[in-house]
Structure 1
């Protein structure tokens, strides 16, 4: 997949999710989308099982981001070789999100979210990226 396309779709996905735009999310998510979340039992983001299906994933994302977060900042960068969204709340790492696209690049097929504080302990905000 072209990195530019993946970056652009990642940005649209994050804008829709954190903007609470259910209609935009429904258009971006493939019908068989799966949300894989690692909260490590220490975060409200992520449960023990993956969430499958466009409707369930979209509604979960909108519900989790419905309440405005003070000091929210999202930086786009490469993580483990993939374009990602790194979410900070009040300058502390909150989550790293990576999306995989369908083969034609038109929709999000998988969402991987790491919100486990232990796994985010080395994530730093990049200066001047605001």
Structure 2
């Protein structure tokens, strides 16, 4: 029983995190799925994977509805909890598109998924990210297949219209991120303006628990001036930076005195940073920092 569950846990973790955008919520959902699995009548479970995905998805929908009110009262912009990933090794059902699987865990797409209804989000994650057949999704959600296809089409159009265009060339990401870091820490406004798109957006998530803009900052001049003003503080505080894969792309984890201070990630296109994500809510950094010390 345990062996079968652990065999499918990576997919359950992937579905739950993409549905909820928060590690603790995803872990709670998968743990509850384990309890349902351990109590299930084995004679009635013909396909363990289908059963586990169905239970996990329904639990995630219920949890998402519960936390939506909490997010509406959140101080400042809300971003998903950054997650150290290796999407190249993440298992996926047969027929899943590896590129879409990686894209679906990006901060950019997860932010767009926040604007979907819980059902639309579930269908998008199961179909677009993991490639589940419509018939299996219909069973998981207790909906007709025609209705699921409609939900899938609506969700797909919504995501395609709103997600930013970005490139995933690892070498370009590394070079541009290094240039950004050097300019930011050095307070070099000119250097920052060379790597920021004219209409760049800075989205910061502090939850009111750390110093950060409480609104999205737009334009290279405004974002650059903000970073040039606060960047030199990193040197004064002996801040260290670690490059790591965050939500399928290159990111930075800043540490001060052995404690996580902030995480950075960016959407890059045409050789420029289009969106910069700054997460310094301490509640959202613990898991990312722990992944580097394990």
TM score, norm. by length of structure 2 = 0.40
Q: Is 1:25 matched up with 2:176?
A: no
- Residue of structure 1 equivalent to 2:210: 43
Q: Shift in Å at residue 15 of structure 1?
A: 1.2
Paired position in structure 2 for 1:109: 274
47, 52, 58: which one aligns with 2:218 = 52
CA contact 1:31–1:53 (8 Å) conserved in 2: yes
**Which residue in the other structure is 1:7 paired with?**
174
1:71, distance to aligned residue in structure 2 (A): 2.7
CA shift for structure 1 position 112? 0.5
Partner of 1:118: 283
Give the TM-score of the pair, scaled to structure 1: 0.88
Work out the number of aligned pairs and report it.
124
- Structure 1, gaps ≥5 residues long: none
Higher relative contact order (CA 8 A, sep 6+): 1
Once the two structures are TM-superposed, the CA of residue 34 in structure 1 deviates from its matched residue by 0.4
C-alpha distance after superposition, 1:72-112 (max 9, x if no partner): 1100000111100111111111111011112x2x2111100
Structure 2 alignment gaps of length 5 or more = 1-166
Q: Which structure: greater strand fraction?
A: 1
Answer with 1 or 2: which has the greater Rg: 2
Cα distance in 1 for residues equivalent to 2:174 and 2:180: 10
Q: Which string of whole-angstrom CA distances, capped at 9 and with x for unpartnered residues, describes residues 33-76 of structure 1?
A: 000000110111x2221000010000001111233332311000
Matching of residue 64 in structure 1 with residue 230 in structure 2: yes
Q: Which has the higher helix share?
A: 2
Alpha-carbon RMSD: 1.4
Partner residue, 1:34: 201
